[in-house]
Amino acid sequence: MGMESVELVMAVEEAFGIAISDQDASTAKTAGDLRDLVLRALRDQGIQTDADQVWLKLKDIIVDQLGVSPHQVTPETDFIRDLGVD
């Protein structure tokens, strides 16, 4: 993972109060993959949350951290191919 990826994961962890292992983070190729990791980490902590609310918050974090337009971020958005994340 490059610096942008690491900073994004750190921002997500802080915003949601979770930890994502480096191994798990390296498997997140799309924004939807990252959403699924967040949902799983929250469930593992016994926190039940609305998937749509998680997505909206995660999308805001991605937009803010990567400086991309909100319309560029969908669950299918590939971090490397579509957003040029290192």
Q: How confident is the prediction along the chain (86 residues), in pLDDT tens digits per residue? A: 678 999 999 999 999 999 999 999 999 999 999 999 999 999 999 999 999 999 999 999 999 999 999 999 999 999 999 999 98
What does the pLDDT read at residue 86? 81
Q: Where are the alpha helices (DSSP H) in 1-86?
A: 3-16, 22-27, 31-44, 51-66
What does the pLDDT read at residue 73? 98
| 71, HSE (Cβ side, Cα atoms, 13 Å) | 0
What does the pLDDT read at residue 46? 95
Residues pairing with 78 in the sheet: 30
What does the pLDDT read at residue 85? 92
Q: How much is the pTM?
A: 0.94
